[in-house]
Amino acid sequence: MTPKKLPRQFIPTQKVSQPTCVNKTFVVKDLKRGERRNCSASHPVFNCIISSTFFYYFELLFFCFNKMVPDSNIEELQQIDEYKKLKEQYKCCCQVFGIKTGAYAVAITYTLIIFSNLCMRAAKSEEVEWNWQLLFLITDSVAVISLFYGITRNHAAFLQPFTVLSIVTVSFCLLLSVFYLSAVIDPNSYAAEQIEILLADKIQYFADLLNITPQKVVITTGAIGSFVYAGTFFIHSWFMLIVVRTAQYFRALTNL
């Protein structure tokens, strides 16, 4: 049997669309901003809710990525900038060398001085009272070893023994410079008498050699001694300033 054909008027001519939110407006609360959002009438309610929730979590992840992760990087960059500023701020030798390099140079210089002094004292062992000389050498050696250790470990506390020793050395140099200067100002002073005793028979030899009077030999010796100790005073003061600045640099590093 052949299928029976339906009348023409019963054949559907167009497709029936799915029910949508026609002529209606659905209100959905925005979870992030706490506002009320009107869904368009052309979108289903379900799609409106899903899209709102999706964008909320997406913005939350974006916020965490931008705020939490870069903060640590920003802090590291700030520390690097502060470290560079400290290195530029703490320099020596007319802002040419870093302060730590200058401190190493001071420590090496004092080591050479101690070693040469030890060799000179050993060569004249019969003329030297080793009780006092040995005490000074031990004190200087301990201060220099502490200085080396403090520079290597970036520890300001170990630089203090050298600073104390430098203060004592600078004070003695200043007093000796003034002492010899008094012989220049007054040839009959106590300092001039000590110079005459120190030179003893050599005064007449230098007087004949330079064709001057023995009194002028004493004055010249006093002037040379005052100048030498004044120069030593400034050199030791400069070394002490470098070490003090190095200690300040190490304390500033610990505060970063």
For 33-55, write each residue's pLDDT tens digit: 444 444 444 444 444 444 555 55
Helix axes 99-123, 214-254, angle to 10 degrees: 140
- Residue of 244 and 254 predicted with greater confidence: 244
CA-to-CA separations, 139 to 55, 161, 162, 249, in angstroms, rounded: 73, 9, 10, 25
Dist. CA 159–CA 115, nearest whole Å:
20
In tens, the pLDDT along 100-147 reads: 999 999 999 999 998 888 887 777 665 555 566 778 888 889 999 999
The SS3 assignment for 37 reads: strand
3-state secondary structure 136-149: HHHHHHHHHHHHHH
pLDDT of residue 229: 95
| pLDDT per residue as tens digits for the range 192-201 | 888 888 887 7
Calpha distance 208→100 (Å, rounded): 51
User: Rounded to 5 degrees, what are φ and ψ at 91?
Assistant: -135, 165
Whose structure tokens read 């030798």? Answer: 93
pTM for this entry: 0.65
More confident residue, 247 or 132: 247
What is the pLDDT averaged over residues 209-236? 90
